[in-house]
Amino acid sequence: MNIPKSNYPRIVIIGGGFAGISLAKKLSGKEVQVVLLDKHNYHNFQPLLYQVSTGGLEPDSIAYPIRKVLKDFPNFYFRLANVTQIVSDKKMLVTDIGDLNYDYLVLATGSETNFFGNADMEKNSMAMKTIPQSLDLRSLILENFEQALLTDEMHERDALMNFVIVGGGPTGVELAGALAEIKKGILPKDYPDLDTRRVQINLVQASDRVLKEMSEQASRKSEDFLEKLGVQIWKDTRVTGYDGKTVTTMTDGLTFETATLIWAAGVKGALINGLDAKDIVVRGNRLKVNQFNQVEGHPEIFAVGDVASIVTEENPCGHPMMAQPAIQQGRNLGDNLVRLINGKPLKPFVYKDKGSMATIGRNKAVVDLPNFRFQGVFAWFVWMFVHLFFLIGFRNRMVVFINWVYNYVRFDREARLIIRPYKKDYSAFKD
Ligand SMILES: Cc1cc2nc3c(=O)[nH]c(=O)nc-3n(C[C@H](O)[C@H](O)[C@H](O)COP(=O)(O)OP(=O)(O)OC[C@H]3O[C@@H](n4cnc5c(N)ncnc54)[C@H](O)[C@@H]3O)c2cc1C
């Protein structure tokens, strides 16, 4: 790979997500050469992907060029590259644009959708982890309604207008709420010749409450909000399969006919070959790291964010796979790498839990702060401003803010466009 030689130690970061970017920012101006590799040339603000899928925001407003984030940093190089192998004994990476040596390596590769080995689910369901996947989902949702107009067969129409979301975490809850608002406010106007009252939104959750990671109060209130919006919640229900037409569950006699199953039921660490030995990979397919984010047995390799797990007695499953732990780990490691190079002792990572939140729809959100919980309109404003604050780029913040004000005032979501059609095979629904 064509990177100039330097007298400074070379730190290679794989991944320009929350963790990789916050680490690179910390290393700016330090006596190191930083090479950031990512298979995309943009940072993706995943918490707002569901708004792209449901036509509330254009994809450009939640993506930001990595080169622009780091444009003024000295000794910094970005390469658009997919890293396929780590050869740790040679301190070398294999990528689709050539090999690269490192002095220190940081994995900030995030996570990928976990289908728990269910191949049918992986093939037939829709995931929402990347911008292209969100655009596919947006197209499919709209194509289903176009398709529903082509048939008089009620059973077929119902299946096309039935949305099944598996996973009652923040992604599933936010998506279900957004679809319910579209059903109420937009579909009757866009499709006057369809009986859109028959649209169903089913949220299926394996455990006994949605938003399981939040307080019981937040769960209860979100279920209440969702039910008022017309979402059908199926708790203690485990989905077993989906062949592209019928969803099967472990509950006797419970199946769903649907053209759209959205899988929001789990993620796993995105590992790279060469650093995936069984003894360093723990629960959630994450790399076991010590309190300095150092991978066991590899003093020059570190992992931060979703792909890393600092297992302690207090945190037997590691920190939650969320933006804040990723940002905070990236910052702490930035300081530690400089300390390591200067022969100073490292600082252990201490997570500052700033709370969690989810929105269900217009004026409806739940917020759990460490010492205080609230729900409703105020929570919704807090949710909006926190998300605007963490978006990267002034333009993106402005565009998202203007879109939200417009959508709020007009009860609208204008990005309901099929720009890149999703080719669903509808033949099974014709029987
Ligand atoms: C739909 C959705 C909603 C979410 N909502 C919230 C929320 O409301 N609040 C919250 O706190 N968290 C939320 N999260 C979780 C949050 O987005 C993640 O925890 C966070 O992005 C993790 O940051 P990261 O830097 O570890 O990984 P990421 O941000 O995922 O970044 C990883 C980067 O690595 C790159 N990469 C991966 N493998 C390779 C490779 N082999 N070669 C080159 N590049 C590679 C990827 O292209 C990507 O840019 C949500 C996630 C999703 C999917």
Q: Is residue 229 part of a domain?
A: yes
Atom of ligand 1 nearest to the CA of 110: 27
Residue 50 burial class via C-beta count within 10 angstroms: exposed 0-12, middle 13-18, buried 19 and up: buried
Q: How far apart are CA 222 and CA 167, in angstroms?
A: 14
Distance 379 CA to ligand 1 centre (A): 24
pLDDT reported for residue 70 = 87
Q: How far apart are CA 353 and CA 137, in angstroms?
A: 32
Number of domains the chain contains: 2
Cα 173 to Cα 205, 240, 261: the distances in Å are 10, 20, 14
Tell how strand 239-242 and strand 246-249 pair up: antiparallel
Q: Is 271 in the pocket of ligand 1 (CB under 6 A)?
A: no
Q: Is residue 143 part of a domain?
A: yes
Q: Which residues contact 329 (CB under 8 A, 6 or more apart)?
A: 19, 293, 304, 305, 308, 319, 349
> Vertex 203, ends 201 and 207: CA angle to 5°?
170
Mean pLDDT confidence for 96-104: 97
Whether the CB-CB separation of 53 and 8 falls below 8 Å is answered with no
Q: Is residue 220 part of a domain?
A: yes
Residue to mutate (ligand 1; options 37, 62, 102, 109; most atoms within 8 A of CB): 109
Q: How far apart are CA 103 and CA 300, in angstroms?
A: 7
Q: Per-residue pLDDT tens for 337-382?
A: 999 999 999 999 999 999 999 999 999 999 999 999 999 999 999 9
Residues 219 and 281 in one domain: no
Q: Is residue 283 part of a domain?
A: yes
313, 341, 369 — which closes off a domain?
Answer: 341
Q: How far apart are CA 251 and CA 306, in angstroms?
A: 32
Whether the CB-CB separation of 106 and 302 falls below 8 Å is answered with yes
Q: Is residue 50 part of a domain?
A: no
To the query of whether residue 156 is one of the catalytic residues in this protein, the response is: no
Protein residue with its CA nearest to atom 8 in ligand 1: 47
**29: three-class secondary structure by DSSP:** coil
Domain holding 294, by residue range, is: 10-39+81-113+267-341
Residues 141 and 277 in one domain: no
Residues 261 and 367 in one domain: yes
Q: Per-residue pLDDT tens for 143-157?
A: 999 999 999 999 999
Residues 289 and 167 in one domain: no
Q: What CATH number is given to the structural domain containing 288?
A: 3.50.50.60
Residues 105 and 24 in one domain: yes
Whether the CB-CB separation of 125 and 243 falls below 8 Å is answered with no
341, 369, 399 — which closes off a domain?
Answer: 341
Residue with tokens 């309604």: 145
The sign of the dihedral angle between the CA atoms of 390, 70, 127, 351 is negative
Q: Is residue 427 part of a domain?
A: no
Q: Is residue 178 part of a domain?
A: yes
pLDDT reported for residue 71 = 87
Q: Per-residue pLDDT tens for 211-251?
A: 999 999 999 999 999 999 999 999 999 999 999 999 999 99
Taking CB atoms within 8 Å and a gap of at least 24, the contacts of 193-197 are 193/149, 194/145, 194/148, 194/149, 194/157, 194/161, 196/161
Distance 399 CA to ligand 1 centre (A): 22
Q: Is 63 in the pocket of ligand 1 (CB under 6 A)?
A: no
Residues 131 and 253 in one domain: yes
Distance 97 CA to ligand 1 centre (A): 23
Residues 242 and 305 in one domain: no
Q: How far apart are CA 241 and CA 251, in angstroms?
A: 12
431 pLDDT higher than 70: no
Whether the CB-CB separation of 322 and 284 falls below 8 Å is answered with no
Q: What CATH number is given to the structural domain containing 212?
A: 3.50.50.100
Residue to mutate (ligand 1; options 25, 43, 322, 387; most atoms within 8 A of CB): 322
* Active-site residue (options: 31, 112, 153, 174): 174
299, 316, 341 — which closes off a domain?
Answer: 341
pLDDT reported for residue 192 = 95
Distance 414 CA to ligand 1 centre (A): 26
Q: How far apart are CA 258 and CA 429, in angstroms?
A: 9
Q: Which residues contact 28 (CB under 8 A, 6 or more apart)?
A: 70, 73, 74, 76
Atom of ligand 1 nearest to the CA of 324: 11
Residues 130 and 109 in one domain: no
Q: Per-residue pLDDT tens for 305-345?
A: 999 999 988 888 999 999 999 999 999 999 999 999 999 99
- Alpha-carbon Rg for the chain in angstroms: 23
Q: How far apart are CA 51 and CA 115, in angstroms?
A: 23
Residues 374 and 322 in one domain: no
pLDDT reported for residue 266 = 92
Q: How far apart are CA 175 and CA 168, in angstroms?
A: 10
Mean pLDDT taken over the chain: 95
Q: Per-residue pLDDT tens for 39-94?
A: 999 999 999 999 999 999 999 999 999 999 988 888 899 999 999 999 999 999 99
Q: Is 49 in the pocket of ligand 1 (CB under 6 A)?
A: yes
Q: How far apart are CA 148 and CA 158, in angstroms?
A: 8
168 closest CA partner among 126, 123, 220, 125: 220
Protein residue with its CA nearest to atom 29 in ligand 1: 17
Read off the tokens for 364.
Answer: 């409806």
Q: Is residue 133 part of a domain?
A: yes
Q: Which residues contact 212 (CB under 8 A, 6 or more apart)?
A: 168, 169, 205, 219
Whether the CB-CB separation of 305 and 17 falls below 8 Å is answered with yes
Q: How far apart are CA 415 and CA 131, in angstroms?
A: 14
Residues 252 and 361 in one domain: yes
Distance 282 CA to ligand 1 centre (A): 19
Element (H, E) at 408: helix 394-410
Residue to mutate (ligand 1; options 38, 41, 46; most atoms within 8 A of CB): 46
Report field, pTM of the whole predicted structure over 0.85: yes
Mean pLDDT confidence for 24-30: 94
pLDDT reported for residue 74 = 84
Distance 350 CA to ligand 1 centre (A): 21
> Vertex 37, ends 31 and 43: CA angle to 5°?
105
Q: Per-residue pLDDT tens for 242-294?
A: 999 999 999 989 999 999 999 999 999 999 999 878 889 999 999 999 999 99
pLDDT reported for residue 214 = 96
Residues 177 and 241 in one domain: yes
Residues 374 and 238 in one domain: yes
